[in-house]
Structure 1
Amino acid sequence: MLTYTPGSTLAHRLDPRTKLAFQFAFALVAFTASTAPQLFGVLVVGLGSLRLASVSIRAVLRAYRVVILILVLGPVVAAVTPGPPWLRLAPALISLRSVARIIPILFVSAAFIHSTPIRETRAAIQRTIPGRPGQLLGVGVGLTFRYVPVLRADLRTVRDAIRARNGDTRSLWERSQRLTVLLVDRALRRSDQLAVALQAHCFAWNPTLPRLQFSRLDIPVWLLSVGFVAVAVVDLLGL
């Protein structure tokens, strides 16, 4: 599971608002890319983001292995037809083009998660989106980043406990039922603990967030983001 890791890379030194803007602009230009050179360029930028954040591609592939597996199976499923000729190339190519757009976006998001503290992410969201909607979104993102690793650890614990009690000898349906019930029970307990912890720490909708400040390093990234948006708009309008 990818989490924030302290460092001094270029991605770590960028303002989180700059990184959020870059993610939005990159996703926009990735979804409008259609030709092979454009898709290749999108992939290069995604890999470059990992490089600037000092994230290994192996770690990203391991963290997103389930998502990537589903994406890879997409073109295969799209190619299969229930009758002759049984396999069709055109639908597979369309699906493959979609996969080529999504994977670089995962790379950029992984670089953001690896290089941005949770509190700075929340501060960037709340200072970009005004009012209660921004506060609610900031709190939601912060809690998600903090508790997804916890829930994954609970999943591993429950799975190991089932195996230790010879649960592997049961059918897949029985194991799935048992795993689901135990995970829901743990999730409900976590939610109760979270509610008590928020009350104990006097949870506030608008706490003192870390100070954010742009630097010279943010300027070229903003220019690149604006360029991405311009390219996407041109592609959408067909100019």
Structure 2
Amino acid sequence: MLTYKPDQTIAHRLDPRSKLAVQLGFAATALAHTSHRALLALSLVCAFVLFVARVPLFETLYAYRFALVVLATAPLIAAVTLGPPWFDASDGLASARASYRVLLILLVSTAYVRSTPVRHSRAAIQRTVPGKPGQVLGIGVALVFRFLPVLQGDLRTIRDAMAARLGTERNALERLTTIGLLGLTRMFERADRLSLALRARCFAWNPTLPMLSFSRLDVPVVIGAVALALTAFL
């Protein structure tokens, strides 16, 4: 499960605003460039980010397995045509490059999630985006980071319970329907409990958030983020 993991890596010691800047810069240049040389350079940058944050690659790919299926299927669908020649390899390759860029962006975002506490992410957003919009965005990000792993755990529990009761003997449509309905029911129950818990704790729009400060480690990171963003215009 992709959640924050305490550690002493360089990525963990960086200010979350620096890491957000790297993500934005990387995404901008990844979406702007489609050449093979650009993809190779982006792959090296992504590998360096994963290494610095000590992100386990195979565990991450397994966590993204459903997204990987979609990314792998997209080039095949893009290459199929309704008439002769029935299969256009150039369209498939263009879609494959796009899918690979999306995968790189996902991997870089994983490094941020693994190295940044949820409260620090909220503080970074609220202190970057002023006013109520920043507060709403910070709250939304914090709730997603905390709520999504719980929902994933519920779906895993439902799936394991079905397997223990020979649910795997049912057809695929019936299994998907059962898991989907039970998952939605559990999601609404979790949402109701979350709402009650927020009211019981006198939920505040502007709580005391952790102090954030840039250090010497953040200087080259911010410079690299700006350089990545500028390469989108080359």
Q: Which residue matches 2:132?
A: 132
Tell me, what secondary structure is at the counterpart of 2:232? helix
Question: Runs of 4 or more off by more than 4 Å in structure 1?
Answer: none
**Equivalent-residue separation in structure 2 for 1:167 and 1:63 (angstroms):** 23
Q: How far 1:65 sits from its partner (Å)? A: 1.3
Aligned to 1:65: 65
Corresponding pairs, count: 234
Alignment of structure 1 residues 18-97 onto 2, 5 Å? 18-97=18-97
Compared CA separation, residues 56 and 165, structure 1 to 2 (3 A) = closer
Matched residue type, 2:72: V
Displacement of 1:154 after TM fit?
0.8
Letter in 2 for 1:203: F
Does the CA contact (< 8 Å) of 2:34 and 2:98 recur in 1? no
- Structure 1 unpaired stretches of 5+: 235-239
Offset of residue 201 of structure 1? 1.5
Amino acid at match of 2:7: G
Identity of aligned residues (%): 49
User: In the alignment, what sits opposite 2:117?
Assistant: 117
Take 2:81 and 2:28, find their aligned partners in 1: how far apart are those partners?
A: 32
TM-score by length of 2: 0.95
In the aligned structure 2, how far is the partner of 1:56 from the partner of 1:188? 32
Task: Give the Cα separation in 2 of the matches to 1:174 and 1:66.
Answer: 19
Q: Does the 8 Å contact 1:120/1:210 carry over to 2?
A: yes
The code of the aligned residue for 2:33 comes to A
Local SS of the residue matching 1:233: coil
Distance 1:167 1:106 in 2: 32
Q: Which amino acid aligns with 1:180?
A: G
Q: CA deviation at 1:126?
A: 0.4
Q: Give, in angstroms, the shift of residue 78 of structure 1.
A: 1.6
Q: Which runs of 5+ in 2 are unaligned?
A: none
Q: Is the CA contact 1:33–1:101 (under 8 Å) kept in the aligned structure 2?
A: no
**Are the aligned partners of 2:19 and 2:112 in contact in 1 as well (CA < 8 Å)?**
yes
